[in-house]
Chains A and B, each alone.
Chain A
Amino acid sequence: MIGRRGLMAAGAAGVMAPRIVGAQGAAARTLRVIPQANLTSLDPVWTTAVVTRNNAFMVYDQICAQDASGAIRPQMAEGWELSDDKLAWTFTLREGLYFHDGEKVTARDCVASIQRWAKRDPFMQVLQSSVAEVAVVDDRRFRFRLHRPVPLLTEALGQTQFPCFVMPERLASTDAFQQIREAVGSGPFRFLPSEWNPGQRAVWAKHDRYVPRQEPVDGLAGGRAPRLDRVEWTIITDPATSANAMVLGEQDYWEYPLHDLLPVMRRSRDLVVEQRLLDGTYGICRFNSLHPPFNNPAIRRAVAMAVDQRDYLRAVAGNEPDGWGVCEGVFTCGTPLANEAGSEILKTRSIERARAALREAGYNNERVVLIAPGDYPQINALSMVTADILRRMGMNLELVSTDWGTLVQRRASKEPVERGGWSIIHTTSSGQALSMPVFHLFLRTNGPSAWFGWPEDAEIERLRAAWVAAEEAPERLRLAEQMNRRSMEIMHYVPLGYYWQPSAWRRNVSGVFRAPATVFWNIAKS
């Protein structure tokens, strides 16, 4: 649709018709995107920010990647071989892989990239004690030599949560805690540093030498064919302005529209609003297990009895039931480990019974400090629902509203609430991050090394270690059920269900596919 402004501009420039046609062609090959956040760093190892990871998927390639079913498929790798004794994995790279600076991708680059990434990735750190070395065999082959079999090796290399991206060796040899300034990869799009203005825009151009795999696109696996000349991200912080820009056609794709604005977007005939990510976003209510009252598991369980996930999910994602889902277990619903063993307590959903359980648990009116991030709408909404529950249960609540930057500092405090500590915080997580015990942060109960709240429980840690060693799927599921049951007993956090985060795009944008991350290959614009 051409708007009045477009017609006026075209009329005024009628004599320049050939130039306009050219400009329209260029516009048709440029996808204008409103990303979910500002791209401030280009290094996906240095920071775990999702927006940096999305940038990395355009710039870099992976040795192997996840398909839509979650299975790991070769990507840069032509394939891999596992020795008979299961103590050596040899990966062979495809022919024709080039970095954006024109250099050929070699096994040396892969080994250096793996070594840097392994220093930061929690999944690989679990496996690291079993790895003797990662060594170059020749230009196209590298090999993992192991002390003992590691059945999850390709799952780690091909994961989406903290992906192993391949960089040139000269960049990958940078310390894992130092930020890399350049973004030179071998992925389908080249980052254009001259057009990067953090807080305003970031631009990528098609990598002409990229050779996609021949298989059709399937999640993050298959052919990563760049079908656009340019992808331009414009940072728009105001959701209403973003919605207006989409409706008017000033932008083509909005990664994370605010749920409140979805009805407006759906009313526009020029827009498509659909779920693009394969998994939902999960809410987490985390207790501080170090100090009263939540150092008492019975009190944590009492709070869980009052939780009705539907209240939380409506607060975040509205009343449309297809916008969210109840998931009363610690593992991502719809994945192989999902189960509700022992989750009956989450089906209580009764303030009265929670109040009685609180009395029985010996709650002594200790102060409960709940920190809510006012600048983070979804997490703030989750926090408000919990605050309401605690008040109705009769707990002595102090609700502290602050910004995310302050919250992430304060949650690191192990002090009691009288000295600046906290009792409850909330966060969200991708479903992927909760699908396996190896990278499930909130499940861990290794005391001082656990995620904020620092729960300690030897049984869950034992089950987790057994799961990592387990080779067969039924055994892994059995262990996952035990982990769920034990989690419901100690209730170190309360799962709050999941909501879908749809994306919106103009109807002239084609080839959009479902994937575990927001990526822009295979997408075209007419």
Chain B
Amino acid sequence: MFAYVVRRVLATIPVMAVVALFVFSLLYISPGDPAAVIAGDQATPADVERIRASLGLDRPYLVRFGAWVWDILRGDLGTSIFTNLPVATMIAQRIEPTLSLMVVTLLLAISVAVPMGVVAAWKQGTLIDRAVMAFAVLGFSVPVFVVGYLLAYFFALEWDLLPVQGYTPFARGFWPWLENLILPAIALGSVYIALIARITRATMLEVLQQDYIRTAKAKGVGQSGMLFLHALKNAAVPIVTVIGIGIALLIGGAVVTESVFAIPGLGRLTVDAILRRDYPVIQGVVLLFSFVYVLVNLAIDLVYTLFDPRIRY
């Protein structure tokens, strides 16, 4: 197992290298000029050229790529063109809100969606099953920002129960931290709940047809024990896979949710950087996201062994 983990971690290096080359090249050929944005309307073309030179943007592709890779190898993600702050500092400032949003969303989604899917499978064809499926269709169909605005309207504006925007760091207390995350997590989690509930239901329906379930029933195992201990554990592998894929979806969804609820996370940092053409920040964030994604995949592979003893690495 240890050797497998080491092998997989080492395998991330070529993946990251390809991502780095791809991201850098894509930004190099994409239109946009940060020097023109910085200089503003008053600047002459000569001013823009001088700013471009001072930022090193006039250097050839290979020189710029080489300098960036050399910095990365030394653990330096570079400096933001606009803020003059280290990219690592900017990412560090933004990582807690995004991580918090993702954790709360995941916990909410799993704790709501898995029981929903199990119950829907157990009560297949009943009103409960149809209601769960209807909710799932709705969750898929309604965009995250629409859910966000509706939640903000009712829970913040109409009933004044929760704040409409912002983020409070965990260090300032559990409730202030959670209070700001409830609405965004529900909005972001709605798609995720729908996805996991559907997969759970489908997998459970398949498992519930298996012989060993019939045997368990014949032996007199209770309903909840049969569903959650015998059936769900065997249905877990596809569900865990979907949760893993969902984390990638969360990264994308967080961009919208962070904008609607004014959460200062990595999603907004990425969008702002793209709109301004802040190349070092875009490169740093994309590298981080790809690294996280590789690690999540590894973690999912390892979690399989907990649910299915036949899987060995």
Which residues on A are within 8 Å of B, measured CB to CB? 3-5, 38, 40-41, 46-49, 120, 122, 161-162, 175, 177-179, 181, 197-201, 234-238, 240-241, 244-245, 247-248, 250, 375, 402-406, 408-410, 412, 427, 429, 439, 441, 449, 451
Contacts and interface: CB of A to CB of B under 8 A. Distances in A.
B160 A3 contact: yes
Contact of A241 (B82, B85, B94, B262): B262
Contacts of A162: 42
Contact of B161 (A5, A47, A122, A175): A5
B264 A247 contact: no
21 contacts: A4-B159, A4-B161, A5-B160, A40-B80, A41-B38, A41-B83, A47-B39, A177-B47, A177-B51, A179-B84, A181-B84, A197-B94, A198-B85, A199-B94, A234-B262, A237-B268, A248-B156, A248-B157, A410-B31, A412-B45, A449-B44
Given A200-B93, A405-B37, A412 B84 contact: no
A241 B258 CA distance: 11
Contacts of B162: 5
Contacts of A48: 39-43
A40 B269 CA distance: 12
A2 B246 CA distance: 40
A412 B33 contact: yes
A198 B90 contact: yes
Interface core residue of A120, A161, A439 (most chain B CB under 10 Å):
A120
A120 B156 contact: no
B261 A198 contact: no
A248 B160 contact: yes
A198 B163 CA distance: 22
B166 interface: yes
A372 to B, nearest CB: 15
B101 to A, nearest CB: 14
Contact of B264 (A200, A375, A441, A449): A200
B214 interface: no
A1 to B, nearest CB: 10
B165 interface: yes
A441 B37 contact: no
Contact of A47 (B38, B93, B153): B38
A408 B37 contact: yes
Contact of B275 (A161, A198, A405, A429): A405
Interface string B156-192: 1101111111110000000000000000000000000
B49 to A, nearest CB: 10
Given A234-B262, A250-B164, A41 B54 contact: no
A324 to B, nearest CB: 21
Contacts of B159: 4
Given A245-B165, A412-B33, A178 B42 contact: no
Given A247-B157, A248-B160, A405-B37, A40 B82 contact: yes
B259 A237 contact: yes
Contacts of B262: 234-238, 241, 245
A5 B40 contact: no
Contact of A250 (B84, B153, B165): B165
B32 interface: yes
B279 to A, nearest CB: 11
Contacts of B40: 47-49
Interface in B36-93: 36-45, 47-48, 50-51, 54, 80, 82-85, 90, 93
B277 interface: yes
B144 interface: no
Interface core residue of A201, A240, A248, A405 (most chain B CB under 10 Å):
A405
Contacts of A179: 84
A178 B32 CA distance: 21
Interface core residue of A38, A408, A427 (most chain B CB under 10 Å):
A408
Given A247-B157, A427-B41, A38 B272 contact: yes
A5 B166 CA distance: 15
B152 A241 contact: yes
Contacts of A449: 44-45
A402 B93 CA distance: 30
Contact of B38 (A46, A236, A403): A46
B93 A409 contact: no
A38 B34 CA distance: 15
A241 B54 contact: no
A441 B41 contact: yes
A177 B54 CA distance: 7
A201 B33 contact: no
B149 interface: yes
Contacts of A199: 94, 264, 268-269, 272
A408 B36 contact: yes
Sorted from nearest, which 6 A-B pairs have the closest CB atoms?
A: A48-B40, A200-B264, A409-B33, A40-B82, A4-B160, A405-B32
B276 A40 contact: yes
B197 interface: no
Interface string B88-125: 00100110000000000000000000000000000000
A439 B40 CA distance: 14
Interface string B255-269: 000011110100011
Given A122-B42, A408-B36, 15 more contacts: A4-B160, A40-B80, A120-B47, A161-B42, A177-B50, A197-B93, A198-B85, A200-B167, A237-B262, A238-B259, A403-B275, A408-B32, A409-B31, A410-B31, A449-B44
Nearest to A420: B31
Contacts of B94: 197, 199-200
Given A40-B276, A199-B94, A451 B41 contact: yes
A110 to B, nearest CB: 22
A377 to B, nearest CB: 14
A241 B264 contact: no
A248 B41 contact: no
A105 to B, nearest CB: 25
A425 to B, nearest CB: 11
Given A181-B84, A403-B275, A409 B264 contact: no
A375 B268 contact: no
A405 B277 contact: yes
Nearest to A198: B83
Interface core residue of B37, B149, B162 (most chain A CB under 10 Å):
B37
A142 to B, nearest CB: 25
A46 B35 CA distance: 11
Contacts of B85: 198
Nearest to B275: A405
A61 B301 CA distance: 60
B276 A244 contact: no
A264 to B, nearest CB: 10
Contacts of B45: 412, 449
A175 B33 CA distance: 21
A85 to B, nearest CB: 33
